[in-house]
Amino acid sequence: MITVTRTTFPPLDEYVAYMESVWQSGQLTNNGPLCSSLAERLAVYFGLPYLELVGNGTLALQLAIKALGLTGEIITTPYSYVASTNAILWEGCEPVFVDIEAKSFCINPNRIEAAITEKTSAILAAHVYGYPCEVGRIQAIAERHGLKVIYDAAHAFGVKLDGRSLLEHGDCSTLSFHATKLFHTAEGGAVVCKAAETAEKVFLMAKFGHVGEDNYLDIGINAKLSELHAAMGLAMLPLVEAIMATRRQCSAWYDEYLDGSALQRPVAVRGLEYNYAYYPVIFPGHEVMMRTRQALADHGIGPRRYFHPSLNTLPFLKVELRRACPISESVAS
């Protein structure tokens, strides 16, 4: 079976070498030397100073919401993985869904301001498949209305816009290092913060809100990354450029063989340096997609509707939160 994603493994001897250092240090967690090293190397890789490692990408979203002090309503995209919506709900806020752009599949800035109320505290958008949101326009809207901005950048590892990391936009960007991602730590994630104060809050909240033995400074949870996971990240990081190069070649082959087809692809904006993490295609209609899906399955290929369903239709949402988002619903289908 050929699956949508398959985990990339580093050379076993390199991972084992990091494991030996864990055995020698005797420290498995609590911000050990491998976690510190990985955080430093990732900060250098992105060219950004404030990066905090956490246990997974969903925790990253939850901590960003908490550290920014968000309450009330958060304007968000209906076209993303369910973690984006779940994090908002889990933190006691309400998602306000705004439909997406047909070309990028990212949240449509033209629809954001009409959704803002006196209860709105932030915009949480996703760089879908690693294609960037209209970050300049979203930031301008946020500044006009005094809102915070969080980007779910789970797909955007290594993506650059106009020569700079896409992660520098917004008050926080969150990353997932799940095993299916281009760069992974098996399970893990990170919060990239614009301000040092926000990064300090994330660091503290991810470690039960205390430092040392008796200094309890804030409410916190356990969102730490272990040394075993950091070891995987340290072994994987040197492979990232080669992984992206291989995916770039695969993407070029798809472009060649699918040229002239009726499939729709996200439109890359000028100045984008893409990571080729995904190759999403939209079919002319639901029936065509289902026939193709079955034909692929018959040949041992397991495709996936990624993402489905549109999040504004989730069955556990309150009825008043299920705003119609026809473009998202169509793309998801």
Residue 73's CATH number? 3.40.640.10
Best CA proximity match to 169, nearest among 150, 190, 189? 150
Whether the ω angle into residue 309 lies within 30 degrees of 0, i.e. cis, is yes
Best CA proximity match to 88, nearest among 80, 96, 100, 98? 96
Residue 162: both structure tokens together: 């106009």
Query: Are the CB atoms for 333 and 286 separated by under 8 Å?
Result: yes
280 is a domain residue: no
* Cα–Cα dist 276/286, whole Å: 25
214 is a domain residue: yes
Task: Identify the pLDDT of residue 211.
Answer: 86
Q: Is 33 helix (H, G, I), strand (E, B) or coil?
A: helix
Q: Please give the full DSSP string across 294-324, using - where no structure is assigned.
A: HHHHHTTEE---SS-S-GGG-TTS-GGG---
Query: Are the CB atoms for 63 and 88 separated by under 8 Å?
Result: no
* Cα–Cα dist 38/54, whole Å: 12
27 is a domain residue: yes
Question: Each residue's pLDDT tens digit in the chain (333 positions)?
Answer: 998 888 999 999 999 999 999 999 999 999 999 999 999 999 999 999 999 999 999 999 999 999 999 999 999 999 999 999 999 999 999 999 999 999 999 999 999 999 999 999 999 999 999 999 999 999 999 999 999 999 999 999 999 999 999 999 999 999 999 999 999 999 999 999 999 999 999 999 999 998 877 888 889 999 999 999 999 999 999 999 999 999 999 999 999 999 999 999 999 999 999 999 999 999 999 999 999 999 999 999 998 899 999 999 999 999 999 999 999 999 999
* Cα–Cα dist 76/98, whole Å: 6
147 is a domain residue: yes
Task: Identify the pLDDT of residue 4.
Answer: 86
Q: Please tell me the pTM assigned to this model.
A: 0.97
Task: Identify the pLDDT of residue 99.
Answer: 98
Task: Identify the pLDDT of residue 215.
Answer: 86
77 is a domain residue: yes
Query: Are the CB atoms for 53 and 225 separated by under 8 Å?
Result: yes
Within a 10 A sphere around the Cβ of 116, how many other Cβ atoms?
18
Within a 10 A sphere around the Cβ of 37, how many other Cβ atoms?
16
Task: Identify the pLDDT of residue 5.
Answer: 85
Task: Identify the pLDDT of residue 40.
Answer: 98
Sign for the CA dihedral angle at 271, 133, 135, 154 comes to negative
Q: Please give the full DSSP string across 131-147, using - where no structure is assigned.
A: PPP-HHHHHHHHHHHT-
Task: Identify the pLDDT of residue 322.
Answer: 96
> What is the total count of domains within the chain?
1
87 is a domain residue: yes
Task: Identify the pLDDT of residue 292.
Answer: 96
DSSP label of 92: T
* Cα–Cα dist 242/147, whole Å: 39
DSSP label of 59: H
202 is a domain residue: yes
Domain of 217? 2-238+308-332
Cβ density class 157-194: b for 16+ within 10 Å, e for less:
bbbbbeeebbbbbbbbbbbbbbbebbbbbbbbbbbbbb
